[in-house]
Amino acid sequence: MRKILLFLLCLVLCSCATPNNDVSSLDEVFLTESEVITVRHNNYTDYVDYYLPGDTSELSSRELSHVFQYNHSRIIMDVNISGIINRRYYPDVKLSEEGFFDSEKLIYSRNSVFLSNSNRNEEFLFRVYDYDREYLICLITRELILYGYADAEDLIPVSSRMLLMARSALVRSEGIISAYSSKEVIDYEKQQVNLFETIMPVNGQINDFLIGENIPTDED
């Protein structure tokens, strides 16, 4: 009897110690989206100041895009130039996703509003796509686009960090408008494909993840 009790106790302890990274737990990531957050920026660029969690490292940084790593997963944070310009000049244009990913792979979708670090309500879209237990994550606001690539173990923590980074970011919209509203907006399709190449596994095929037969390359 004592052995049975010990066995059952071990099962309970093991179940408690196992992190809950199931897709159904994604709702928990957003439980505090409307609550005030108070984090201090620890990274500063010409266009974006943001908070980077201590367990997440920066791999590369460019003027408009930054690549990060959490465990074996990657996160991209990209300034949403077209979203910023639309907010200023075309406020009736609705926030939308780019449609790069296969909609048949979509397993989680959320359209909501979070309270930013500057106490402003920001509309956002959040999507998760499942490619055989490897997940592509997309979070879009008017000012930022964040992409994540994670395995099942990292799905929840990566999603949580993406939301935190989006909520904490301070984007200098006026600087973006001044620099880009008079120019041809960046070809996001080509730029984002190039960015995805930095987060996909070495043996991954980018065409397996993105929609479209004619994927642009650097040679185009």
Of the pLDDT bands very low, low, confident and very high (cuts 50, 70, 90), residue 61 is: confident
pLDDT at 212 over 70: no
Is the model more confident about 119 or about 22? 119
pLDDT at 14 over 50: no
Taking the C-alpha atoms of residue 104 and residue 130, their distance in angstroms, rounded to an integer, is 9
pLDDT at 31 over 50: yes
Q: In the numeric block, which tokens belong to residue 6?
A: 């010990």
Q: Which of 112, 124, 123, 171 minimizes the C-alpha distance to 143?
A: 171
Q: At which residue do the structure tokens 């929840």 appear?
A: 156
What is residue 131's three-state secondary structure? coil
At what angle are helices 173-180 and 81-89 packed, to 10 degrees?
A: 90
pLDDT at 21 over 50: yes
Is the model more confident about 29 or about 202? 29
pLDDT at 196 over 70: no
Helix, strand, coil distribution of the chain in percent, nearest 5: 35, 30, 40
Is the model more confident about 92 or about 16? 92
Taking the C-alpha atoms of residue 51 and residue 119, their distance in angstroms, rounded to an integer, is 15
Is the model more confident about 153 or about 99? 153
pLDDT tens digits for range 119-154: 999 999 999 999 888 899 999 999 999 999 999 999
Q: Is 217 left (phi over 0), alpha (psi -120 to 50) or beta?
A: beta
pLDDT at 58 over 70: yes
| pTM as predicted | 0.78
Of the pLDDT bands very low, low, confident and very high (cuts 50, 70, 90), residue 103 is: confident
What pLDDT is stored for residue 30 in this prediction?
96
